[in-house]
C-alpha cells in the first residue's frame, strides 16, 4: 500500500508535545490511509536516535524512537494533537501521595505486561531501572542513561519495592509534578541487559522495552526500522503499519524534496 504524503508543520510553542501526538498517530490513531504497508518518516534529527532507553537527538528521539520502543510508568496521552497533552497510566495504573508522608509516592503497577524479550515486567524491574540510572556504585550503573535521565530526577531520593505490584518513591521535598517527570524515564528490560552482560552498546543493538514497536534493523547514519509489537498491552496503540522506517534528514529542503519525490511518506518542518 502507498501512503498519502504528509507534512507536519509545528510552531515553537508546545513543539515536542505536538510532535509526540504526531508520533502516536503513526500507530492506532493513524488515518485509514496509513493502514498496512511501510511508512517512511524523514526526521529532523541529525542521526539515528539512541535506542537503549532514554534517547538523544532532543525530543525528536523521544517522539520517534523512545516512545515507540519503550514505556514509562506514566505515559503522555498523545491521542489528540490540538490540545496540550496530559499524563495517563503507563506501566503504572495509578499513583498517589502517601497520606502519612508528603515526600512519598506509591505507584500501583500494571500486571501481565511482557518485555520484548518475552520476560515479565515486575516491580523488581522498576527498582533496577531507577537504581542503574541514579546510583554510581550500583553494579549495573549506566552512565549514559544517568546523563539522559538526571534532569527529570532532580527531586528523586530513593525507590523501594513495597510488594509485587507496588513501588514507593521518596522525593527530597513535596513535588506535585513528580509523576510528570517520570513520563520521561523510559524503562528497559533487565533480562536483556543481563543477556548482553550489561554491555550498553550491545543492548542498543538488541533493545528490549515494552513499547508498541519492536526493533528490527539498523543501518548506522541511514535508517532505523521498527515493526509492530503484536503483544503490546495497550491495544488502542497497536501500530497500523507493517513497518516504520525512520530516516535522519536534518536539512529542511532535503526533507521536502524527499517527500515530493516519494522517497518518504511523512516529514516534519520547522
What was the pLDDT predicted at 211?
Answer: 98
Mean pLDDT across 210-228:
96
Q: Enter the pTM of the model.
A: 0.86
Mean pLDDT across 43-52:
93
Above 80 in pLDDT, residue 27?
A: no
DSSP 34: G
Q: In sequence order, what DSSP letters do the residues of 65-134 get, joined into one string?
A: IIHHH---SEEE--S-SSS---EEESSEEEEEE-TT-TTEEEEEEPSS-B-TTSPBP-HHHHHHHHHHHH
What was the pLDDT predicted at 79?
Answer: 85
What was the pLDDT predicted at 200?
Answer: 95
Name the residue with higher pLDDT: 119 or 36: 119
Under CATH, domain 71-194 is a member of which superfamily? Answer: Dipeptide-binding Protein; Domain 1 (3.90.76.10)
Mean pLDDT across 79-83:
84
What was the pLDDT predicted at 12?
Answer: 33
> Which residue shows C-alpha cell 497497536?
238
Answer whether 247's CB lies under 8 Å from 41's CB. Answer: yes
Task: Tell me which H or E stretch contains 180.
Answer: helix 178-182
- Are 1-70+211-270 and 71-194 the same fold in CATH? no
- The pLDDT tens digits of the residues spanning 94-110 come to 999 999 999 999 999 99
What was the pLDDT predicted at 270?
Answer: 62
Q: Residue 106 pairs with which residues in a beta bridge?
A: 96, 168
Hey, where are the domains in the chain? 1-70+211-270, 71-194
What was the pLDDT predicted at 58?
Answer: 86
How far is 162 from 141, CA to CA, in rounded Å? 23
How far is 140 from 135, CA to CA, in rounded Å? 9
% of the chain with per-residue pLDDT over 90: 79
How far is 173 from 255, CA to CA, in rounded Å? 46
- The pLDDT tens digits of the residues spanning 1-25 come to 334 444 443 333 344 444 444 444 4
Q: Which residues of 129-140 are buried (b: 16+ CB within 10 A; e: fewer)?
A: bbbbbbeeeeee
Q: Residue 8 pairs with which residues in a beta bridge?
A: 268
Predicted confidence band of residue 35 (pLDDT cuts 50, 70, 90): low
- The pLDDT tens digits of the residues spanning 119-162 come to 999 999 999 999 999 999 999 999 999 999 999 999 999 999 99
Fold for the domain defined by 1-70+211-270: D-Maltodextrin-Binding Protein; domain 2 (3.40.190)
Specify the range with the lowest mean pLDDT, choosing from 1-15, 73-87, 197-211.
1-15
Predicted confidence band of residue 113 (pLDDT cuts 50, 70, 90): very high
Amino acid at each position: 500500500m502507498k501512503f498519502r504524503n504528509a507534512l507536519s508543520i509545528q510552531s515553537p510553542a508546545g513543539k515536542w508535545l505536538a510532535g509526540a501526538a504526531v508520533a502516536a498517530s503513526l500507530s492506532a490513531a493513524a488515518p485509514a490511509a496509513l493502514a498496512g504497508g511501510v511508512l517512511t518518516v524523514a526526521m529532523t534529527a541529525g542521526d539515528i536516535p539512541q535506542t537503549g532507553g532514554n534517547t538523544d537527538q532532543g525530543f525528536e528521539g523521544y517522539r520517534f524512537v523512545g516512545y515507540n520502543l519503550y514505556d514509562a510508568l506514566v505515559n503522555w496521552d498523545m491521542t489528540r494533537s490540538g490540545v496540550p497533552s496530559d499524563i495517563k497510566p503507563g506501566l503504572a495504573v495509578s499513583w498517589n501521595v502517601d497520606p502519612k508522608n508528603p515526600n512519598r509516592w506509591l505507584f500501583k503497577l500494571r500486571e501481565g505486561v511482557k518485555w520484548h524479550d518475552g520476560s515479565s515486567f515486575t516491580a523488581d524491574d522498576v527498582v533496577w531501572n531507577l537504581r542503574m540510572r541514579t546510583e554510581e556504585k550500583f553494579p549495573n550503573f549506566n552512565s549514559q542513561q544517568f546523563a539522559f535521565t538526571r534532569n527529570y530526577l532532580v527531586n528523586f531520593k530513593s525507590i523501594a519495592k513495597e510488594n509485587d505490584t507496588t513501588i514507593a518513591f521518596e522525593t527530597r521535598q513535596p513535588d506535585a509534578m513528580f509523576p510528570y517527570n517520570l513520563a520521561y524515564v523510559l524503562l528497559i528490560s533487565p533480562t536483556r541487559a543481563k543477556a548482553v552482560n550489561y554491555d550498553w552498546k550491545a543492548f542498543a543493538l538488541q533493545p528490549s522495552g515494552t513499547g508498541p514497536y519492536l526493533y528490527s534493523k539498523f543501518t548506522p547514519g541511514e535508517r532505523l526500522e521498527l515493526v509492530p509489537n503484536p503483544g503490546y498491552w495497550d491495544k488502542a496503540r497497536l501500530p497500523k503499519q507493517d513497518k516504520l522506517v525512520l530516516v535522519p534528514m536534518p536539512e529542511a529542503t532535503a526533507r521536502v524534496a524527499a517527500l515530493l519525490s516519494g522517497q518518504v511518506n511523512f516529514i516534519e518542518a520547522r
